[in-house]
Amino acid sequence: MELVEKIKKSQLLSHAKTFPRMHLGVIGALIVGLGLMSVIPTNQASVARDVTILELPVADAHADTNKTERDDVLTDKEIELKTITLTVKPNDNLSLLFKRAGMSDREMMNFLGAAEQPKRLHSMKPGHELHFHLNSENHIEKLTYVSSALASYSYINTDGKYLFSETLREPDIHNASRSGHIKSSLYSAGINAGMDEKLIMELAEIFGWDIDFALDMRSGDSFKILYEEHFLDGEKLGNGVILSAEFVNQGQRFQAVRYVHADGRAEYYTPDGKNMRKAFLRAPLDFRRISSNFNPRRLHPITKTVRPHRGIDYAARTGTPVWSSGDGRVIASGYTKANGNYVVIQHGNNVQTKYLHLHKRKVKRGQKVRQKQIIGTVGSTGFSTGPHLHYEFLLNGVHRNPRTIVQKLPKAESISPELKSDFLNQTQILLAELERETNTPALALKERFPSASAL
């Protein structure tokens, strides 16, 4: 069950970010605007119509008498139904979907009124499917909501009520491995190795505390990962979590392994049990959004003088989110002629981080912030020639190199001595498997990434 939940969550996440959630609550408003709705065009082309025989689980007193002829004759409980399959589109709602299936709002309200657990339909997202099974009078005999290959929910007409049932399946899980060498970027190396974007991002997140994927990457760097692949009836559904991973950056080898705590919480640790997470981010913005060909300018572009450069400049598009590097409190959020829009955050007693030239500030002075919370966006305000983030790290009032100092600061909680033997039991096998494995056959990956070789 837990696994099913997880997969659903990860599949839904990508939708949740880009599309508004649907709510049954909007239906009321839509019904009021019914006159308007009839002029909204619906896409009939996306409606697949075909006829199927559906067996309905209705108790039938006459069933026994027909038993011998079951194969040849339709009984009362086997009704010829018309099936309409609809795929949920962005900005769809139940009212629009029912309309596409040829149902009126009244019919939809009747259905919802007679259905057990109608709220399950709240979780509908673009890409999910609705299957309407209609009788010859266009009345719903069964409605099935398919949210993934692993989960579907049915409402079956039973004496005027729609009884609810759910079908949840568990995938088969197999471990797989991939490895690659960096030529231009982690992204293209990952794609070439047959990884999908989600897996590449997870790899970057695991090592993002130690390696700055925007500035530290070198040709010849390499990686390998051991991860889960999920299958259903022999067909690949998608990738699961990374179990263990290794990254060699500029000759330095980093290893990480996933450990699941007794309470189900999973974290990545070094092979000897140190937490991979650190108190401060390596870079306070998404490495994929940093321009790779940026050269920090030592000669100040406006005053034309060489100034000591006490921070790091990350070039990125205006509007790119800037994160707080660690937990802390905003001690300044303002504007000066030189800094432009800027934010200063105090972390504990001895660390301050500064973020300059912001396009917009998203925090106020005195506000508490969490690590990776968005505090503003990249801009070019103040003495700046182009959109970039100027980032400073001060330890006990002294400027330090933000990219190297984080290594020397405390890490998140490591494995306690009491957990050590359980930790080793669980993780050594994963590290050994990573060591042993070369790339497993690419299975369906060629199909999924047809352009991989072109990158």
Pairing outcome for strands 388-395 and 312-315? antiparallel
- Closest CB to Zn ion among 141 and 313? 313
Our CB check for Zn ion shows the closer of 75 and 380 to be 380
Residue 377 CB, nearest approach to Zn ion (Å): 17
Parallel, antiparallel or unpaired: strands 129-134 and 140-148: antiparallel
Output the smallest distance, CB 382 to Zn ion, in A.
Answer: 10
The torsion of the CA quartet 221, 227, 230, 236, rounded to 10 degrees, works out to: 30
Contact of 285 with 314, CB cutoff 8 Å: yes
Q: Judged by CB under 5 A, which stretch of 4-12, 159-167, 385-393, 415-423 contacts Zn ion?
A: 385-393
Residue 277's SS3 state is coil
- Taking the mean position of all CA atoms in its chain, how far away is CA 274? 26
Judged by CB under 5 A, the residue of 343, 390, 402, 427 near Zn ion is 390
CB of 376 to Zn ion, least distance (A): 15
Complex with Zn ion: residue 98 or 355, whichever CB lies closer: 355
Q: How far is the CB of 424 from Zn ion (least distance, A)?
A: 45
User: Which class for 409: exposed (0-12), middle (13-18), buried (19 or more C-beta within 10 A)?
Assistant: middle
- Hey, which residues does 263 pair with through a beta bridge? none
Shortest CB 409 distance to Zn ion, Å: 22
Q: Which is nearer to Zn ion, 57 or 334 (CB)?
A: 334
User: Between 190 and 340, whose beta carbon lies closer to Zn ion?
Assistant: 340
* Only segment of 274-282, 330-338, 384-392, 424-432 that touches Zn ion (CB under 5 A): 384-392
Q: Which residue's CB is nearer to Zn ion, number 298 or number 436?
A: 298
Contacts of 176 (CB under 8 A, 6+ apart): 226, 227, 228, 229, 440
What Å distances lie between residue 345 and 332, 355, 391, 395, 407, CA to CA? 7, 9, 11, 12, 19
Of 158-177, which residues contact Zn ion (CB under 5 A)? Answer: none
Token readout for 219 is 């040709």
In angstroms, give the least distance from the CB of 315 to Zn ion: 10
Q: In whole angstroms, how close is the CB of 353 to Zn ion at the nearest point? A: 14
In contact, 245 and 225? CB cutoff 8 Å: yes
In whole angstroms, the minimum distance from the beta carbon of 392 to Zn ion comes to 8
Residue 367 or 380: the one with the smaller Cβ distance to Zn ion is 380
354 binds Zn ion (CB under 5 A): no
CA 237, 240, 245, 249 dihedral sign is: positive
Indicate the residue among 354 and 390 with the shorter CB distance to Zn ion: 390
Detail the DSSP E strand segments found in 117-210: 129-134, 140-148, 151-158, 161-168, 172-181
Of the pair 373, 380, the CB lying nearest Zn ion is at 380
| Cβ at position 292, least distance to Zn ion in Å | 17
Residue 282 identity (one-letter amino acid) = R
Residues 313-332 that bind Zn ion (CB under 5 A): 313
Residues 6+ apart with CB under 8 A from 160: 114
Contact 375, 330 (CB under 8 A): yes
DSSP 440: P
* Residue range at the interface with Zn ion (CB under 5 A); choices 95-103, 188-196, 267-275, 383-391: 383-391
Q: Which is nearer to Zn ion, 101 or 281 (CB)?
A: 281
Give the interface segment with Zn ion, choosing from 18-26, 382-390, 398-406, 437-445 (CB under 5 A): 382-390
How big is the site for Zn ion, counted in residues (CB under 5 A)?
Answer: 2
- Residue count of the chain: 455
State the minimum distance, in angstroms, from the CB of residue 324 to Zn ion: 18
Residue least distant from Zn ion (Cβ) = 390
Which residue, 338 or 455, has its beta carbon nearer to Zn ion?
338
Amino acid occupying residue 270: T
- Least separation, in Å, of the C-beta of 204 and Zn ion? 24
Asked if 174 and 234 touch (Cβ cutoff 8 Å), the reply is no
Our CB check for Zn ion shows the closer of 90 and 301 to be 301
Using CA atoms, how far apart are residues 436 and 434, in angstroms rounded to an integer? 5
x/- site string to Zn ion, residues 277 to 316, per CB under 5 A? Answer: ------------------------------------x---
Determine the angle formed by the axes of helices 25-32 and 105-114, rounding to 10 degrees: 150
Query: Rounded to whole angstroms, how far apart are CA atoms 115 and 125?
Result: 20
CB of 209 to Zn ion, least distance (A): 23
Report the alpha-carbon distance of residue 60 to residue 268 in Å, rounded.
56
Interface with Zn ion (CB under 5 A): 313, 390
